[in-house]
Amino acid sequence: MKLSIVTAVMNGRATLPDMLASLRSQTHQEIEHIVQDGGSTDGTLAYLQTDGLKGMRLKSQADTGIYDAINQGIARATGDVIGLLHADDRLASPDVLASVVDAFQNPEIDGVYGDLQYVARDDATRVIRHWNAGPYMAAKLRQGWMPPHPTLYLRKSVFARAGLYDTSFHISGDYDGMLRFLTSGKVRLGYIPQVMVQMKMGGVSNRSFAHMIRKSREDYRAIRRHNVGGIGTLFAKNVSKLAQFRAGA
């Protein structure tokens, strides 16, 4: 099974080596690495051209934001299954992609996801937040549940029938997309009970108080748009994160 891994990057030179090392370490090597660069100026392009994965498909052009860049990458993908791996993230162990391929041997499955860890930006061995996603049930959506987006892998056919990410969202396009995939898209999800991705803390959604307010507004818009609840769903979505933080991290 050919996996397309899409990386949307803008000035990611500092964190790319760790991400690429995690890809190279995978036991499943039938990988197409699609890199969509937004016009980096920090040496990202030069680094990728010399140290990127063999056969990497790199393209650099302007975009309107992260979800536009992701959409451009997905449009170029030729694999059977598509997943995302951002410059700040890394696959947690060498068998992650092998586990993805194993799960997709079930023809009834449209997508898979697993658990996620947030790690300190200055020390990737220090886990700050552990997101144990658990199995999917449709009723959980009204409780603010969502699969950890960085761990989500979907058959290419899902995007063909359910569409790409809505670029009118600046922060919560992933949440809106997943709600659409799971409601009108009728995606059938399988759960892989292992940590699949480690993600560095400090992303755009929690960069500042203003960003957090904007994210909440976008989350609420997605909730109402896909008819999975209201303000209570938004509250539950935010409160559920508290239990994921590790004491003493």
pLDDT at 249: 42
pLDDT digits (tens, 9 = 90+) for 94-117: 999 999 999 999 999 999 999 999
Whole-number Å distance between alpha carbons of 152 and 166 = 17
Residue 176 lies in a domain: yes
Domain limits at 85?
A: 3-244
Residue 240 lies in a domain: yes
Q: Any idea what the CATH number is for the domain that residue 36 is in?
A: 3.90.550.10
| In-domain check, residue 172 | yes
Q: Is residue 195 part of a domain?
A: yes
Q: Is the model's pTM score more than 0.85? A: yes
* 141, part of any domain: yes
Rounded mean pLDDT of 164-171?
97
pLDDT tens, position by position, 47-79 = 999 999 999 999 999 999 999 999 999 999 999
| Distance from the Cα of residue 243 to its chain's centroid | 21
Q: Which residues contact 137 (CB under 8 A, 6 or more apart)?
A: none
Domain-located, residue 145: yes
Is position 249 within any domain?
A: no
Report whether pLDDT(248) > 70: no
How many domains, the chain?
Answer: 1
By the 8 A CB rule, do 36 and 73 touch? yes
Q: Compute the mean pLDDT over every residue in the chain, rounded to the nearest whole number.
A: 94
Cα separation, 71 vs 163, in Å, equals 10
User: pLDDT for 78-88, tens place per residue?
Assistant: 999 999 999 99
Q: Does the residue 221 lie in any domain?
A: yes
User: Distances in Å between the alpha carbon of 224 and those of 118, 134, 218, 232?
Assistant: 28, 24, 10, 11
